[in-house]
């Protein structure tokens, strides 16, 4: 199948070409014709399948020749990062259409959002909390809405947004097309789909199959040796861009700080960061300023960095679905990626569950030149320092020295780039107006 088969408007087709998409992904192949026909769609697809373009392209196609200046498509997403990514995809694919899109989420000044809404936009990509604020303050007019997308519905549920979603739905025009995308279909999302969609077409892409281009490996290790093993893996592997997952945000912060201290271009995503710093961390990861991002599942939700070469599970995820979701971030499209998972003896049952889901045994690997016999220190069971090298001038910390095999970008930088982080964008935070809750964001926790 070819994108030409959809017979998109030439301005939309130009955007597809500019984005470098050659052939539609399976979710696009299945969903686009139904969306273009005006049908409600329930899409079971995880991040990395091309689901954003599966709804963005038909939306752009619908709006390109239509009336301007009114919100005609609303996309609701669980996190600010995902909202930004959807907005960026729309901007990229709709570059030639002059259709305008705006993101709406909390944690940032509301006034620019109000100004842009007044000025007129056709697409709004919003997180539920701030959207409700705009609705209650009547700073957004959704009376001419044609199309609603609920993206990552299962995450919205996990993050406690369902009551907000229901409140929003009650206030939207009943006559509209609705698309609901979710990686999984827990009962609450099925109920929401039944309530919200009319005679929907269901499209599903092997939602539990990770991208075929990913190779997986398990690294059995004691909990206290995870950090040294992580360093060894980084040292020995040809990595471009690494996403490290930890169980808790506290651990994400500590691992990020440890890597940074050792000279790696690393940053962690955790809930306590301001929106500007979160965005700077994500932008830095996308543009290569940082080559390692350490995050929890929630904090990493929606992160779309198409060039991620490796996912390293510092901690095994809680469910097989979460494993697939994490791994979905590497091996995207035509690229190949590796997934390393550190496992302790306590993880055996989860390993079995993951293997069952994936339908095969995962390879267990050990590193020949890694000392697995080091005993856990009494004081800090989680982090064991690699033996220190003598300190010399300008060499405050031991760096993970390459054995020569892999002089690769994730190696420690000569100078620590984190010491001069990207300048923060000056943002005027006005006093909150009644009704707007600046602290209420699409990103509840990390």
| Residue 233: CB minimum distance to ligand AMP, A | 25
Residue with smaller CB distance to ligand AMP, 259 or 324? 324
| Residue 88: CB minimum distance to ligand AMP, A | 9
The answer to whether 200 and 42 have CB atoms below 8 angstroms apart is yes
Tell me how crowded residue 115 is: count the other CB atoms within 10 A of its CB: 10
Q: How far apart are CA 167 and CA 129, in angstroms?
A: 10
CA-to-CA dists, residue 44 to 51, 213, 365, angstroms: 9, 20, 33
Q: How far apart are CA 263 and CA 260, in angstroms?
A: 5
Q: Is the dihedral of CA 119, 61, 150, 444 positive or negative?
A: negative
Residue with smaller CB distance to ligand AMP, 26 or 421? 26
Look at residues 105, 118, 27, 101 and name the one whose alpha carbon lies nearest to residue 63: 101
| Residue 391: CB minimum distance to ligand AMP, A | 43
Residue with smaller CB distance to ligand AMP, 3 or 314? 3
Q: List residues near ligand AMP by CB under 6 A.
A: 21, 24-25, 28, 47-53, 304, 306, 332-333
Residue with smaller CB distance to ligand AMP, 88 or 382? 88
Look at residues 45, 35, 46 and name the one whose alpha carbon lies nearest to residue 6: 35
Q: Residue 21, Cα to own-chain centre: how many angstroms? A: 20
| Residue 50: CB minimum distance to ligand AMP, A | 3
Residue with smaller CB distance to ligand AMP, 47 or 113? 47
Look at residues 114, 161, 48 and name the one whose alpha carbon lies nearest to residue 443: 161
Residue with smaller CB distance to ligand AMP, 142 or 300? 300
| Residue 234: CB minimum distance to ligand AMP, A | 24
DSSP label of 3: G
| Residue 100: CB minimum distance to ligand AMP, A | 20
| Residue 61: CB minimum distance to ligand AMP, A | 15
Compute the CA torsion angle 59, 11, 34, 327 (nearest 10 deg): -70
**Residues whose CB is less than 8 angstroms from the CB of residue 125 and which lie 6 or more positions away in sequence, other chains included:** 75, 77, 83, 86, 87, 90, 101, 102, 103, 104
Residue with smaller CB distance to ligand AMP, 50 or 107? 50
């Amino acid at each position: 199948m070819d994108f030409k088969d959809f017979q998109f408007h030439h301005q939309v087709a130009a955007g597809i070409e500019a984005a470098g998409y050659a052939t539609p992904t399976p979710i696009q192949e299945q969903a686009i014709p139904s969306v273009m026909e005006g049908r409600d769609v329930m899409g079971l697809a995880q991040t990395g399948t091309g689901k954003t373009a599966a709804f963005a392209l038909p939306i752009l196609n619908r709006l390109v020749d239509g009336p301007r200046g009114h919100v005609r498509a609303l996309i609701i997403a669980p996190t600010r990062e995902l909202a930004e990514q959807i907005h960026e995809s729309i901007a990229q694919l709709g570059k030639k259409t002059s259709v305008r899109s705006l993101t709406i989420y909390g944690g940032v000044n509301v006034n620019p959002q109000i100004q842009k809404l007044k000025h007129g936009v056709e697409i709004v990509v919003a997180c539920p909390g701030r959207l409700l604020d705009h609705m209650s303050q009547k700073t957004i007019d959704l009376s001419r809405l044609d199309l609603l997308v609920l993206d990552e519905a299962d995450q919205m549920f996990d993050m406690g947004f369902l009551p907000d979603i229901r409140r929003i739905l009650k206030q939207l025009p009943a006559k509209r097309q609705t698309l609901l995308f979710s990686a999984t279909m827990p009962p609450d999302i099925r109920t929401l789909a039944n309530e919200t969609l009319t005679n929907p077409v269901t499209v599903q892409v092997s939602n539990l199959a990770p991208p075929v281009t990913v190779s997986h490996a398990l690294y059995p290790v004691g909990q206290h040796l995870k950090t040294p093993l992580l360093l060894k893996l980084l040292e020995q592997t040809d990595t471009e861009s690494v996403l490290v997952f930890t169980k808790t945000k506290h651990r994400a912060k500590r691992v990020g700080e440890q890597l940074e201290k050792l000279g790696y271009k690393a940053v962690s995503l955790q809930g306590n960061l301001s929106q500007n710093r979160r965005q700077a961390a994500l932008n830095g990861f996308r543009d290569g300023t940082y080559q390692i991002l350490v995050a929890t599942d929630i904090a990493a939700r929606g992160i779309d960095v198409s060039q991620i070469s490796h996912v390293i599970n510092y901690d095994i995820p809680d469910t097989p679905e979460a494993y697939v979701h994490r791994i979905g971030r590497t091996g995207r499209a035509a690229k190949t990626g590796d997934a390393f998972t550190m496992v302790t003896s306590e993880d055996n049952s989860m390993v079995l569950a993951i293997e069952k889901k994936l339908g095969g045994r995962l390879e267990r690997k050990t590193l020949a030149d890694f000392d697995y016999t080091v005993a856990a220190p009494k004081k800090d069971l989680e982090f064991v320092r690699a033996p220190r090298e003598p300190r010399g001038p300008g060499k405050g910390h031991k760096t993970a020295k390459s054995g020569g095999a892999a002089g690769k970008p994730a190696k420690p930088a000569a100078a620590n780039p984190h010491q001069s982080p990207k300048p923060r964008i000056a943002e005027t935070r006005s006093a909150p107006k009644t009704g707007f809750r600046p602290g209420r964001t699409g990103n509840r926790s990390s």
